[in-house]
C-alpha cells in the first residue's frame, strides 16, 4: 500500500503550519487528504502539490487564486517564475556545526539525527542549498587538508545519499514530465552535484534515475535507453585526461531523442561543441531547475 503521512509530518516537510494546512483544506480545498481513525492521511502527491502551492504563494500568488488549479497548471505557472536564491535562513555554518561535531567524534547516530532534524524543519529545496551542498564542501575541505579521515568522509557521503535518496522517493511525482539519468563520467568521483541535482529534479516534476558517480559512457547511455530518459545529466568536478574522451563517447552513444546536460565546477573547461547538437552546458543548479521546469510546461 502507498505510504500515507499524518498532518504533523506534512507540516514539517512542507514548512506549512498545522493551521495553514487546515485553512487551505477547509476554505480553499487546495488539498483534501483522506481521513482515517488516526486523522488526516496525506499521499505523497498531496505533499508534492502543497510544496508547489507554497512555492507559488511565496512568490506572491494568492492561495485563493491558485488553489483550484490542476497540478499541471501550477507547474506551468511556476515555470514562468524566475528562480530565486533559496530563502534566507540561519547561516549554514550554524546549522552544520552540530553535524560536523558529531562527525568529528565518529558519532554516526547523532550526526544522522541532526541531519534528519534539519530535513524535517527545512523545505527540501532549502535542505539541498543550505545543508547538503555546504556540508559536503566543508567535509571535503577537511578531508583534503587531512583533518577528517577517509572513513568520516564516507560516513557523511553515505548519510547524504540515504537521506536524499529517501526524499527523492517521497517527492516522486505521479506523472513526471520526463525521466532523467544522472551520473558522472568514468574517473569522476565527486557525486554531490548530481545528487543535489537529482533531488531538485524530482521537486521540479522530473523522475530522476540516480546511477551514482564514475560510470563508463556506454553504461550511462544504456541506462538512458532502458529508462527512455529524455535527458542525461552529468557533472564534472575534477577532470582528468579521460574526461573529454568519456564525454565524447557518451554524446555519441546517447539515444537519438535525448539531450546531454553537463554541469559541475569544471564543466566550463570542456569542449562541448563537437560531441553533438544535443549537448548543453548547464551553468548552475538554479539554471538546472529552470530547465527541468521548462519540460513541465
Residues in the site for ligand B12, rule: CB under 6 A? Answer: 133, 136-137, 140-141, 143-144, 153, 157, 189-194, 196-197, 233, 235, 237-239, 261, 263-266, 282, 284-285, 288
Residue with smaller CB distance to ligand B12, 61 or 190 = 190
> CA 253 to CA 239: how far, in whole Å?
20
**Residue 173 phi, psi (nearest 5):** -85, 140
Tell which residue, 268, 270, 277, has the closest CA to residue 243.
Answer: 270
Orientation of helix 7-14 relative to helix 44-58, angle to 10° = 40
DSSP string for 32-57:
--EEETTEEEE-HHHHHHHHHHHHHH
In the complex with ligand B12, the residue whose CB is nearer, 157 or 179, is 157
Based on its alpha-carbon atoms, the radius of gyration of the chain, rounded to whole angstroms, reads 20
Closest approach of ligand B12 to the CB of residue 96, in Å: 13
Nearest to 214 by CA among 193, 234, 184: 184
Q: Of 238 and 274, which has the nearer Cβ to ligand B12?
A: 238
Separation CA 216–CA 244 (nearest Å): 12
C-beta of 41 vs 157, nearer to ligand B12: 157
Pick 32 or 141: Cβ nearer ligand B12: 141
Grid cell at residue 122: 527545512
Q: Which is nearer to ligand B12, 185 or 239 (CB)?
A: 239
Least distance (Å) between residue 91 CB and ligand B12: 17
Provide the minimum distance between the beta carbon of 135 and ligand B12 in the complex, in angstroms, as a whole number.
8
In the complex, minimum distance from the CB of residue 218 to ligand B12, in angstroms, rounded to a whole number: 20
Angle at 14 between CA 291 and CA 289, to 5 degrees: 10
- Minimal CB distance residue for ligand B12: 193
Name the grid cell of 127: 535542505
Is residue 205 within 8 A of residue 292, CB to CB? The reply is yes
Nearest residue (CB) to ligand B12, 191 versus 259: 191
Quickly count: other Cβ atoms within 10 Å of residue 148's Cβ.
20
* φ/ψ (deg, to 5) at 171: -95, 15
Characterize the bridge pairing of strands 231-235 and 279-281. unpaired
* Of 80 and 240, CB closest to ligand B12: 240
User: What gap in Å lies between CA 253 and CA 23, rounded to an integer?
Assistant: 52
Amino acid at each position: 500500500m502507498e505510504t500515507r503521512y499524518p498532518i504533523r509530518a506534512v507540516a514539517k516537510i512542507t514548512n506549512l503550519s498545522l493551521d495553514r494546512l487546515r485553512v487551505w483544506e477547509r476554505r480553499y480545498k487546495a488539498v483534501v487528504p483522506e481521513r482515517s481513525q488516526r486523522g488526516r492521511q496525506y499521499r505523497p502527491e498531496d505533499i508534492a502539490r502543497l510544496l508547489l502551492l507554497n512555492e507559488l504563494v511565496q512568490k506572491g500568488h494568492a492561495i485563493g487564486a491558485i488553489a483550484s488549479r490542476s497540478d499541471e497548471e501550477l507547474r506551468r505557472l511556476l515555470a514562468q517564475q524566475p528562480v530565486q536564491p533559496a530563502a534566507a535562513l540561519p547561516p549554514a555554518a550554524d546549522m552544520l556545526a552540530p553535524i560536523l561535531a558529531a562527525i568529528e567524534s565518529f558519532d554516526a547516530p547523532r550526526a544522522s539525527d541532526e541531519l534528519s532534524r534539519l530535513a524535517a524543519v527545512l523545505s527540501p529545496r532549502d535542505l539541498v542549498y543550505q545543508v547538503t551542498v555546504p556540508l559536503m564542501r566543508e567535509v571535503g575541505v577537511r578531508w583534503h587538508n587531512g583533518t577528517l579521515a577517509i572513513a568520516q568522509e564516507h560516513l557523511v557521503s553515505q548519510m547524504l545519499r540515504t537521506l536524499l535518496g529517501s526524499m527523492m522517493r517521497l517527492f516522486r511525482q505521479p506523472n513526471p514530465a520526463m525521466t532523467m539519468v544522472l551520473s558522472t563520467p568514468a574517473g569522476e568521483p565527486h557525486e554531490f552535484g548530481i545528487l543535489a541535482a537529482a533531488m531538485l529534479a524530482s521537486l521540479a516534476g522530473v523522475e530522476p534515475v540516480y546511477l551514482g558517480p564514475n560510470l563508463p559512457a556506454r553504461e550511462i547511455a544504456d541506462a538512458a535507453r532502458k529508462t527512455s530518459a529524455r535527458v542525461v545529466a552529468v557533472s564534472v568536478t575534477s577532470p582528468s585526461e579521460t574526461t573529454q574522451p568519456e564525454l565524447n563517447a557518451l554524446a555519441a552513444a546517447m539515444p537519438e531523442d535525448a539531450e546531454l546536460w553537463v554541469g559541475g565546477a569544471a564543466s566550463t573547461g570542456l569542449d562541448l561543441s563537437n560531441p553533438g547538437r544535443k549537448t548543453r552546458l548547464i551553468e548552475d543548479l538554479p539554471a538546472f531547475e529552470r530547465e527541468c521546469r521548462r519540460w513541465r510546461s
